[in-house]
Each structure stands twice: as structure tokens, then as C-alpha cells.
Amino acid sequence: MTTTAPQHESPPAPQRLWSDILTTPVGDLLRGRIGARCRPRPRDLIATCGLPAELASLVWEVVRRTRLWSTEKVAVSRELIAHFEDGLAVGTSAAELGVSFGDPAQAAALIRRAKRRNRPLIWKAAKLAENAVAAVLSLALLLYTIQVVRLYSHAPNITRNYVSEWNQDALTVPPAERAWPVYLAAMQATNGYWEHNWHGDELSPGSSSWPDITEFINSNGRALELYRQAAAMPKIGLVLGREPDVDYMVNNAGQPIKNAGAAPDPNPEFISVLLPPLTTFRSVSGMLKVDVYLAAQAGDAQRTQHNLDAVFGIVAHAREVRLMLADLVALTIAGDACRTIGALLRANPQLFDDHQLAQIAHRLAGLGGPEGLRTRFASERATVEDFLQRYFTDDGHGDGLGRPELLARLAVFTSGDPAPTRWTPTIGLNTVLMPAISPFMAGKREMLAKCLDFFGRYEAEAATPLWQRSPTTVDDEFIQFRTSLRNEVRYAPLMILMPSLGRAGLMYEYFAQQRDATTAALALALYHRQHGSWPQSLNELVPQLLPQVPPDRYDGQPLKYCLVDGHPLLYSIGVNRKDDGGRLPSPPPDGTKTPLAELNRQARRWQPAPTAQRGAGAAMEKPLPDGDWLLWPPVE
């Protein structure tokens, strides 16, 4: 045993200032160490124990290095002091005791470990929790780092120019054959602000606005003629993304077109392209409809027919744009044209000659070509695909993660404001956030697959006649999909970008019923002229005047027909799927005054069959309208 004592640091008496600050009474109270100042402090204990300086230093060094609680340090100090005092008492020198004690650092480490094992269970539980949190945080940090690498090592790869692809057909139309410039010229020639003044039901004789409307039409003969010319042209030739802001033009008649001549973006976002014709088509068809009535009142069958032809031309032009919203506008215009024709047949049955009636029937039946006016969802699909290629990275295998720009873009969509607001996340913040969010958000491939799955099912549903549809609508599934919190995060872009398309699919079915009823009404008119009486059944119209009796879209059976007081009535059994004999639904029992046209619309509002069959018996469901959807003559 060597007698050389190790050299240890001196006792810590001069270093008390910081410790004194930390152990003020208030400090102790805040740290939950009530009564801490009543207990001896280890260094005081060691300084006053009477051990030789080198042993006192050794004890302090060991105790200090343990980094234990103060009470634990006191216990260890007392034990070591007693140990050395016992050694000295049996005659061992201080130097020998110091050497035989061993390495103070190792002793401190072992003592610390052992003493901590003696701590209370609650401390051990807290420590376990702390370690677990640390482990989770470390794992999260690791995952975040991996995600940062994954996210920022790839960039979006914009391979397709959807706007350009959409414009391919339009660009092949020679400039001289494009109808759109003629529409624009007509719009500029319009004297006044049609779009903001009159809508919907006002555009029929007898409305309170009718005198003002007729005055407007009479003072815009030149513009109407241009519209008829435009509508008669075979192709609209509209180039998306390069057209002027028609809304601006409408609001600033006579002013230069706002963005005409501006350098177009070579690959604009598909979702951002302006849809100028939609406003135009609706307002122009409204003007032509008014002129239909004015011409009919004047007994001018040819002008009336020309106006109807122009409306059909607008429908064809809207379909040429191939956007879902344009398809819906086409359906609205075509449906309105059906009601206008129906009203003319009722009010001016002798206006058109037989040939004109047949022409109108053929034109109406042929709207939209072989596929009819069925709503197409290709533009919505392209919108999502284009969005994904711009705001998701491309790993070269068709997959990728959402980019920081995605959050800012989605924030703009949800706020409805195209300009960033103070609440729009900054790109810097998004750069930090996105790696943390992206593990919870579906990748590009999964996002696209989910989107295409819904589009496919919506398209299949839209292609199915109402009477063959499943009891569960795709909208039901889509709403269920949207209400899941997991999906809200995982498919956040789809939640914002992808609309419920069920109603868009229904629009065609409503129109098809209206169209079929109108062609049947035209056939009835011809039959009446030929026979001087109405047929007892629609079968009598087949095959001379109708190729076949059109179906009722709600049960697949022949469209309902009857004579009421000697006058014909065409109707569908409506959403309650019950033949009520051509009676409108009853008004609300609470006495609320409801227009007849609204009651008629309620009768057609489609629901899946099982729900409908439960009808008024289902306590929690709104009772189904107890009447039929009257198709012709129009309900006024």
C-alpha cells in the first residue's frame, strides 16, 4: 500500500456566491425544498468535520461529483467522514487512507448510480417518463431529419402543361372561324349592364322588370345580332389562359380590356385560368330568351326559332370548353330553353309550323351529340393532377411529398382570398413545418390514387340513370371520407380541391327528363295538329312522331301522361317514386307560402331509393314531397 496521497482540489468555501443565490429562501420555496435551509449543507459539514485537509478535499470531491440531491450528499458526506475518522482512529495515516480509497471520480459515479436506485418510486416514474419523452423527441428529431432530406432532396417536376393540352383543339380553329371574338365584340357593343340587372324568373313576360328588360333588348339589336352570329359559328375557339377578363369588361363597358395583350404565362396553373365564357353564356342566353318571347309575341316564328337555335349554339360552345363548370352552365341553359319551348307551346301553340316544330325537336334531341349533355369530370381530374405535379416533389417513380408552397396555396384556397393575408403562413415557416406535416399527409401517388378512385366512381354514377342507381351515393361515401379527422389531415389537398360531384351528375338527369318531356310535348303538338285531338297514350306518338316513349328517370317506366280537363299533362312520378296522378306536392303544413315552381323542384330533388321508400315513415328524415314533378305544361 503506497503512502502517497493524491492531490485533490481545495475545499469549495470561496465558491459560495452562486450557490447562495440559488439557495435563497424564496429559491428553495420555488424549488419545493421547504425546510432546505434548516438542513446542513454538505460543504459546511465537510469544512467543519475536523478531517485533515487532504481527506476533507477528497470527501468533497467525491460528494460534489455525485451530483446527488443535497440530502443525499449530506448522507454520503457523513458516511465518508465517519469512514476516514475510523481509519485515522486505528492509526492509518491520512495519506494512506487517501490512496486506499481509490479513484474519487469512479467512486462518485458508482455512488451516484447506487443512491439513485434508492430514490422514491415517484421519482423513478418521473425519470422513466422523462427518458421516454426524450426518446420520443429523439425519434421525432430523427424522423424529422430524414423527412427534411427526403423532402428537400427532390423538387416538383412539372411535366405536363394541362392548359396547353386543353387548348389544343381550340388552337386548330382558324381565327376567322372562332366564335369567341364575335362574342367579345357583341359584349362590347352591349349598351348597358345586363348581367347585374336581371336574372332568372325576371326574364319571363309578366315579371315586374319586363318593361325595362324589353327596352334593353330593343336598344341592343346590334349586339343580339352579333350574338346570334357567334352562336351560329361551328367552333368557339376559346383559348384558356389567354382570354381577357370578361368580368372586368362587363363592369366597365366601353373601357379597354384589362389584360388584353398581356404576355401569357406559358404554363399557368390549371386551377387559376379564367373562365370568361361562363358569365357570357348565361347572360347571352338570357338576352336571347327574352327575345324569344318578344318575337313570339310579335308572331315572328322565324326570329323565335333563330333565337332558339342561337341558344342551342351557345350550349354547344359551352360543351366545347370541356370544363365541368361549362358543362353545368350548358345544362342550365339547355334546361331553361326546354322550359321556354314548353311555355311557347302552351301560350302560342300555332306559332311554329310543323316543319319548325320538327326542327326544334331534332335540335333539342341532338344536343351534345351522341354523349348528350352528360357532365364530364375530366377538367376536375386535370385540376387535381396539375396541382399535385406543382406542389408535390417528384421522386422519379411517380411519388413525392407535399412542398412548403402547398400550405400557402391551400391557405389561399381556404381563405378564398387570392392574395396572401397576414394569416397566410410564410414560406419560411412552411419550410420548417412541412417536414413535420408531410409524414401525416399522403404522398403524391396515394393522393392521386384516392382522387382517381373517387372521380372514377363519380363518373360511373353519373353515367347511370337515376332508376338504376345504387342506394348508396358516392357523395355519401365522399362525405364520410371527408368527416374523418385522419383523412382531413392525410388528404388535406383533396379536401380543399375536390368537390362533391354527385349534384353535378344529377344535373344531367334532371335535364334529360326535361328534354325528353319537351320533345314529347313537341310531338304532342304535332299530333294535335294532325288529329285535332290529344292522344290517349304516348304510345300513339311512336314511331311517327317519337322514336320511343321516353322513360321516367325515377322508375325507368314510360314517362307519365294524362289528360286533365281535356289538356295534356306530362310528368314524372318524382322522388317519392309514387304516381300521384300529376299532382304537385302539398305546400308545407306550417302554412309557409311556397311558389308552385319551388314545390315542383322539390318533387324532383333526387334521393336514393331505400331512403325514398322509407318516406314519411322515417321519423328522423325530412318527409318526401307527396306529389309529382310536372314537366309540361310548365308550372307557373
Partner 1 sequence: MRIERELMRGAGPVAVLKLLERHEMYGYELIDALSKRSEGVLALGQSTLYPMLYNMEAKGLIESTERAAPSGRERRYYRLTRTGHAQLAQQTEQWVAISRAMLALGILPGPTTTQEALA
What type of residue sits at position 601? R
Closer residue to partner 1, CB minimum distance, 110 or 137: 110
Inter-residue contact 445 to 467 (CB < 8 Å): no
Near partner 1 by CB under 8 A: residue from 19, 48, 71, 106: 106
Inter-residue contact 348 to 296 (CB < 8 Å): yes
3-state SS assignment for residue 80: helix
Closer residue to partner 1, CB minimum distance, 67 or 531: 67
Q: Give the shortest CB-80-to-partner 1 separation in angstroms.
A: 7
303 binds partner 1 (CB under 8 A): no
Question: DSSP for 143-167?
Answer: HHHHHHHHHHT--------HHHHHH
- Please state, in angstroms and as integers, the Cα–Cα distance from residue 585 to each residue in 263, 384, 559, 588, 600, following that order: 56, 41, 18, 9, 7
Q: How far apart are CA 412 and CA 384, in angstroms?
A: 16
Return the closest-CA partner of residue 476 out of 493, 446, 501.
Answer: 501
Q: Give the shortest CB-107-to-partner 1 separation in angstroms.
A: 3
Q: Give the shortest CB-131-to-partner 1 separation in angstroms.
A: 18
Q: Give the shortest CB-63-to-partner 1 separation in angstroms.
A: 12
Helix ranges, 31-69 (H): 42-47, 53-66
Query: How many Cβ atoms sit within 10 Å of the Cβ of residue 393?
Result: 21
Return the closest-CA partner of residue 513 out of 376, 347, 628, 352.
Answer: 628
Helix ranges, 244-396 (H): 246-251, 276-297, 301-321, 324-347, 354-365, 378-391
Sheet holding 567-572, edge to edge: 560-564, 567-572, 629-632
Please choose, out of 80-88, 190-198, 273-281, 551-559, the segment that lies near partner 1 by the rule CB under 8 A.
80-88
Which parts of 110-169 interact with partner 1 (CB under 8 A)?
A: 110-111, 113-115, 117-118
Q: How far apart are CA 360 and CA 364, in angstroms?
A: 6
Please choose, out of 94-102, 253-261, 268-276, 295-303, the segment that lies near partner 1 by the rule CB under 8 A.
94-102
Q: How many residues bind partner 1 (CB under 8 A)?
A: 27
Q: Give the shortest CB-100-to-partner 1 separation in angstroms.
A: 6
Inter-residue contact 495 to 481 (CB < 8 Å): no
- Please state, in angstroms and as integers, the Cα–Cα distance from residue 192 to each residue in 188, 198, 219, 580, following that order: 10, 12, 10, 47
3-state SS assignment for residue 567: strand
Which parts of 38-77 interact with partner 1 (CB under 8 A)?
A: 62, 75-76
Please choose, out of 19-27, 78-86, 518-526, 527-535, the segment that lies near partner 1 by the rule CB under 8 A.
78-86
102 binds partner 1 (CB under 8 A): yes
Closer residue to partner 1, CB minimum distance, 62 or 94: 62
Q: Give the shortest CB-395-to-partner 1 separation in angstroms.
A: 52
Which parts of 202-261 interact with partner 1 (CB under 8 A)?
A: none
Closer residue to partner 1, CB minimum distance, 83 or 601: 83
Q: Give the shortest CB-5-to-partner 1 separation in angstroms.
A: 14
Q: Give the shortest CB-97-to-partner 1 separation in angstroms.
A: 8
Residue 216: half-sphere exposure toward Cβ, Cα within 13 Å: 21
Closer residue to partner 1, CB minimum distance, 9 or 79: 79
Near partner 1 by CB under 8 A: residue from 44, 103, 169, 215: 103
Q: How far apart are CA 459 and CA 327, in angstroms?
A: 14
Please choose, out of 107-115, 230-238, 280-288, 419-427, the segment that lies near partner 1 by the rule CB under 8 A.
107-115
Please choose, out of 85-93, 422-430, 535-543, 574-582, the segment that lies near partner 1 by the rule CB under 8 A.
85-93
3-state SS assignment for residue 564: strand
Which parts of 579-608 interact with partner 1 (CB under 8 A)?
A: none
Q: How far apart are CA 110 and CA 254, in angstroms?
A: 92
Question: Going by C-beta distance under 8 Å and a sequence separation of 6 or more, which residues neighbour residue 561?
Answer: 520, 537, 538, 568, 569, 570, 571
Near partner 1 by CB under 8 A: residue from 79, 215, 265, 417: 79
Q: How far apart are CA 457 and CA 481, in angstroms?
A: 14
524 binds partner 1 (CB under 8 A): no
Q: Give the shortest CB-88-to-partner 1 separation in angstroms.
A: 10
Query: How does DSSP classify residue 550?
Result: P
Q: Give the shortest CB-39-to-partner 1 separation in angstroms.
A: 14
Near partner 1 by CB under 8 A: residue from 60, 101, 508, 629: 101
Inter-residue contact 608 to 602 (CB < 8 Å): no
Q: How far apart are CA 22 and CA 610, in angstroms?
A: 75
Q: Give the shortest CB-10-to-partner 1 separation in angstroms.
A: 21
Inter-residue contact 16 to 42 (CB < 8 Å): no
Query: How does DSSP classify residue 208?
Result: T
Near partner 1 by CB under 8 A: residue from 42, 61, 94, 104: 104
Closer residue to partner 1, CB minimum distance, 107 or 275: 107
Please choose, out of 84-92, 180-188, 276-284, 583-591, the segment that lies near partner 1 by the rule CB under 8 A.
84-92
Q: Give the shortest CB-448-to-partner 1 separation in angstroms.
A: 59
Q: Give the shortest CB-40-to-partner 1 separation in angstroms.
A: 12
Closer residue to partner 1, CB minimum distance, 20 or 86: 86
Closer residue to partner 1, CB minimum distance, 77 or 393: 77
Near partner 1 by CB under 8 A: residue from 29, 82, 433, 564: 82
Closer residue to partner 1, CB minimum distance, 102 or 556: 102
100 binds partner 1 (CB under 8 A): yes
Q: Could you identify the residue written with the cell 315579371?
A: 207
Please choose, out of 106-114, 180-188, 461-469, 516-524, the segment that lies near partner 1 by the rule CB under 8 A.
106-114
Q: How far apart are CA 189 and CA 184, in angstroms?
A: 9
Q: Give the shortest CB-117-to-partner 1 separation in angstroms.
A: 4
Near partner 1 by CB under 8 A: residue from 51, 55, 80, 323: 80
86 binds partner 1 (CB under 8 A): yes
Grid cell, residue 134, equals 426524450
* Paired residues of 551 in beta bridges: 558
Among left, alpha and beta (phi > 0; psi -120 to 50; other), residue 535 is beta
Near partner 1 by CB under 8 A: residue from 85, 212, 225, 247: 85
Query: Exposure of 622 by Cβ count < 10 A (0-12 exposed, 13-18 middle, 19+ buried)?
Result: exposed
Closer residue to partner 1, CB minimum distance, 92 or 229: 92
Query: How many Cβ atoms sit within 10 Å of the Cβ of residue 32?
Result: 7
Near partner 1 by CB under 8 A: residue from 30, 38, 89, 263: 89
Residues that bind partner 1 (CB under 8 A): 62, 75-76, 78-80, 82-83, 85-87, 89-90, 100-104, 106-107, 110-111, 113-115, 117-118
